[in-house]
Amino acid sequence: MSETNSPSAPSPAVLDVWCDLQCPDCHAALDDLRALRARYGDRLDIRLRHFPLEKNRHAYAAAQAAEEAAEQGRGWEFAEALLARTAELGERGEALLTEVAAGLGMDAEEVDTALIDGRHLLIVDADQAEGKAIGVTGTPTYVIGGERLDGGKSQEGLRERIEEIADRLSAG
């Protein structure tokens, strides 16, 4: 609890990253996301938003598994581990999801159970619906300061644009 007369910390800028965890372009975006995390730390809240594409057969299950990973405190770590293995996810599917979870020291059985009981379906469906509503058509797509940036065609210049917006939001 903070003291009443201490100034509150400014709210961080929010960067929503609409992602398909079986998408090679989303894997390519990881370096930019790591650089943004390193530069801004707590001043930029980077949120993974799910947008599984129909062409990627295991992306929907991967999104659900990532939500279970977040419940277990390993959301980004799990997402990054999966993105490093997008081709393998395409081949092995759900078996890889539980293997990655176990490799990270997570409760892999709980990940498997979450996929069976569908406890995270609503979160994934809500993300996807919101993405469609704001015009997301491919991944990765970034939204910061009300501006949508499409990284599905090229990552070129996107980190710099995100930094410009984040700097403006931080200053304002």
Strand positions, DSSP E, the chain: 13-19, 44-50, 141-144, 147-150
* Cβ neighbours for 41, distance < 8 A, ≥ 6 positions apart: none
Q: Write down the pTM of the prediction.
A: 0.88
**H helices, E strands: number in the chain:** 9, 4
- Smallest CA-to-CA distance from 52 within 100, 4, 124, 2 is with 124
Tell me the one-letter amino acid at 60: Y
Separation between Cα atoms, residue 66 and residue 75, nearest integer Å: 6
Tens-place pLDDT, residues 106-141: 999 999 999 999 999 999 999 999 999 999 999 999
Separation between Cα atoms, residue 90 and residue 59, nearest integer Å: 9
**Higher per-residue confidence, 11 vs 148:** 148
What's the distance, CA 112 to chain centroid? 20
Tens-place pLDDT, residues 13-37: 999 999 999 999 999 899 899 999 9
Percent of the chain with pLDDT over 90: 83
